[in-house]
Amino acid sequence: MAQICVYFQLHQPRRLADFSIFDLGDEAAKYVSSSENDTNEVVFHKVASKSYFPMLSLLKKLLKKYPSFVFSLSISGLFLEQAQQWEPGIVTLLQDIIATGQVEVFSETYYHSLASIYSPTEFKAQVMEHQRAMLDYFGVIPTTFRNTELIYSNAVAEQVAALGFEGTLTEAVPRYLGNRQKTRLYHSYTPSHLPILLKHAELSDDIAFRFSDKSWSGYPLTVEKYLHWLDRYGDEELINLFMDFETFGEHQWEDTGIFEFFSNLVAVAQDKHAFVLPRSIFAQFASEPATKLEVYDVPVPISWADVDRDLTAWIDNPFQQDSLRILYSLEKQILAIGDEKLIKQWRYLQTSDHFYYMCTKWANDGDVHAYFSPFDSPYEAYRRYSIVLSDIKAKVHQLLDHPSLKLIH
């Protein structure tokens, strides 16, 4: 009987408003929303209808019907802000399912940012803000950490451990894992020996990406076929199925049968395998010597993105690198000014999606980036972002020169 660990990511970025060079210096202009025709609101309503409401409702029914069924959620602060603003029923559904005690909530950076790579102080601040949000909304304090896009390295592990988390999640990358199994618990190559769960990419992506692909050799994916693949794993092995929540209804539309597939999979699998939560897995090893686990040594950051499973989705080209350099160079100045509205705007600009849209990879990776981007090209994404970045940089310098000035937005 294998252990199945299911985790879903709930995140929606706050996309940039139609901010142009003519808006530079306009104190009333907003970077990530507008009063009319807000892209963020349109997208959120659409995805809520296709994915969030039907899948959350299904999960609520499954939790009630099968007490042994458990799963985990990582919910960005930006997702909660937009849900509360435009679809509060989603927040209510989340509160209902989390209140069952069968759902573990993870911690992450509130703004779904790359702060763990660029600023340990900012990383800590965003994690703490996210912890407060989880407590305010759901009455829980997460003990498991899930970094943005499963970004991980030895250095990130030490930051996570220093914040008191019991374990973390990341990708199983062959160049560091070698031929070892991804279905076991590892610990970090750091003094903290932080426990690590590794995503089973093949089985996760069979659902998340390949489910409706008629050219895939495994199509059509039936519950019987998928369960046969799960049955290959023995007792105590950990099958970690990590995927975006939007897999259900948005990336894989309802007419593909994705909802029925998941419902039937839970019904059958819960009799043959054990659904588990990361906090339970980590607790099993809390009293064991760290040396009982093998080491996952990751000197250079990895992620779950693209074929390379590295950070090139966000930091590969000069557009991205220059934007990130300028953005994080403003940290000390912005925090010194102490204007909460300015800090919030700056943190909105840290959301990893902005840099993902600037990615100039092509082939299959490029197709995925283009699918998620609201811009016609990565060059347009950079142009729009650079205008906003120039404006916030100018505001910072203005406020430092004239501290008595106040921001309107």
Token duo for residue 191: 């003094």
Token pair for 126? 């965003």
Phi, psi for 152 (deg, rounded to 5)? -155, 150
Contact predicate 115/147, CB 8 Å: no
Q: Please report where in the chains the tokens 């970077």 appear, as a residue.
A: 31
Q: What angle do CA 331, 335, 338 make, to 5 degrees?
A: 150
Asked if residues 408 and 28 have their Cβ atoms less than 8 Å apart, the reply is yes
CB contact set of 287 (below 8 Å; sequence gap of 6+): none
Q: How far apart are CA 333 and CA 352, in angstroms?
A: 21
Neighbouring CB atoms inside 10 A of 315's CB total 19
Rounded Cα–Cα distance for residues 130 and 48 (Å): 22
Query: Which amino acid type is present at position 107?
Result: S
Alpha-carbon span 157 to 161, nearest angstrom:
6
Q: Considering only CA atoms, which of 198, 262, 254, 143 is closest in space to residue 5?
A: 198
**Is the C-alpha dihedral spanning 137, 282, 246, 372 positive or negative?**
positive
Q: Mind telling me the catalytic residues?
A: 149
In 97-231, beta strands by DSSP E: 103-105, 144-145, 167-171, 186-188, 195-199
